[in-house]
Amino acid sequence: MKRKLLVILGLLMFVTWAYAQQDSVTLQHGAHRIGRRTDADMQWWRDYGLGQFIHFGLYAQLGGEYNGEQYSGASEWIRSWNKLPNAVYDSLYKEFNPVNFDADRWAAMAKQMGARYVTITTRHHDGFCLWPSKYSDYTIVKSSYGKDLIGPLVKAYNKVGIDVYLYYSILDWHSKDWRYQLKTADDTVAFNRFKVFVKNQLTELLTLYPTVKGFWFDGTWDKSWASPSNAPFTDSLEQYLKQIRPGLIAGGRYRVDETGHRHDDANGSLMGDYAQGWERKIPKDYAATKGRDWDCDMTFGENGWGYQKKWLGHWKTTDELLEMMAKCNSLDGNFVLNFGPKADGSFRQEEVDAAREIGDWMKVNNAAIYDTKYNGWEKQDWGYSTISKDGKKAYLMVFNVPVSGKIKVLTDKAQQVGKAYMISAPEKSLPIHPLDYGYNEITIPSQRYSRPFVIVLDIVNGKSETRQENKAKT
Ligand code: FHN
């Protein structure tokens, strides 16, 4: 009997072991960390709340049009349009001359908007470099402008306290060595040269601009880059970049593991420091974020990142953008709004206006966005909430006020609400009426609201009080 039991136990252990083996793949080039980074650089990244994205390049000269025709794709993709000869596009640099580029003005606009970091395209898919790269002859120094744009930008943004990240496309339509797919031995030889070029350029960027905080990689979906055989290179490149710049923050979009998985390795762990998959979309709930660091980059239009002469289709209003920012932050992500400057280096008026309006809102309400985190509440009808890192203040970003003028707020069981007030009038407490099941009814000052607003709840930790008459034993 005892022997039988031992055999069964042994069998059970074997099945459990075999199941566990099946569940996890042994990877040399998968994620090297499970879960979030815990260092100060990453903590600072996590606290940004709001960022600015800038897509600037030769595509701005066309603004989504060629020969009087409108390109229906994203304007920065126009080089791939079969109605536009490559040679025409590749000559645009000769006229590229952003005479109205004023780094201090760009930085001032971002600062006023409340952005704490910026990501700028150093080289988009068209291959044109906005900095004087010694590894390419297709750079801004060869244009009519004739000088570096990234350096002054980094300096100006840093001067006003904004961190700079560099967008870098691995995909390069201009390079003779870049391949979408490696079909022949020659392709492999050429692509190997391309990889050296990428490494050189990334090293060069970190060397030329030592205050840069990290990279936002793009274009890594190609069969060449995403091939399992590229796993050792992408892995060692990330490690190399982090050696030359300790604390560097690299998005999770560019590595591939030896099984061909991108973003997440074959075991479902994120390769990189934050998830880069939330492009023009926002996770529907906290579970969808998998508890990771992430940011969402968002366009004003439905798609299109570079300058577009005609704003066709739907373009987001300031209130819509504020709501997206609130939602992202309530789910522990940063919100990054994209701008597409015109070829002369100025911004279109709609973008300037939106930046100013967002900034006006941020001036009053930024405590709900900066240095806050996911507060564990379920989504509620009135809007979105965040909580301060010490857990003492919950911020309710109210987008919907019911006709009753009262909102019902469901807090966590362990959170007792001490006081509620409008962020703009902290001295005036709002009436709170505790309800059963953890709800508090808060009366909103009766007035016409032209923008969403923030209510602060002072949180007193402890069990929430339930009124005696409600303690029925049901
Ligand atoms: O193809 C690009 C696109 O042009 C733009 O740069 C965006 C920004 O997130 N990234 C790529 C698409 O994922």
pLDDT of 395 reads 98
Residues constituting the chain: 474
Q: Which atom of ligand 1 is nearest to the CA of 124?
A: 6
* pLDDT range class, residue 7, cuts 50, 70, 90: low
Q: Which atom of ligand 1 is nearest to the CA of 221?
A: 13
State pLDDT tens for residues 33-87: 999 999 999 999 999 999 999 999 999 999 999 999 999 999 999 999 999 999 9
Q: What order of strands is seen across the sheet that includes strand 406-410? A: 406-410, 439-443, 432-434
State pLDDT tens for residues 243-283: 999 999 999 998 999 999 999 999 999 999 999 999 999 99
Q: Which residues contact residue 223 at a Cβ distance below 8 angstroms, ignoring those fewer than 6 apart?
A: 180, 181, 182
Ligand 1 cavity residues, CB under 6 Å: 74, 76-77, 218, 279, 297, 305
Name the residue with the closest Cα to ligand 1, atom 6.
Answer: 305
Nearest to residue 462, comparing CAs of 391, 381, 383, 365?
A: 391
Which residue segments constitute the domains of the chain, with CATH numbers given?
40-368 (3.20.20.80), 375-461 (2.60.40.1180)
| Cβ–Cβ < 8 Å for 172, 123 | yes
| Whole-number percent of the chain with pLDDT over 90 | 89
Q: Which atom of ligand 1 is nearest to the CA of 297?
A: 9
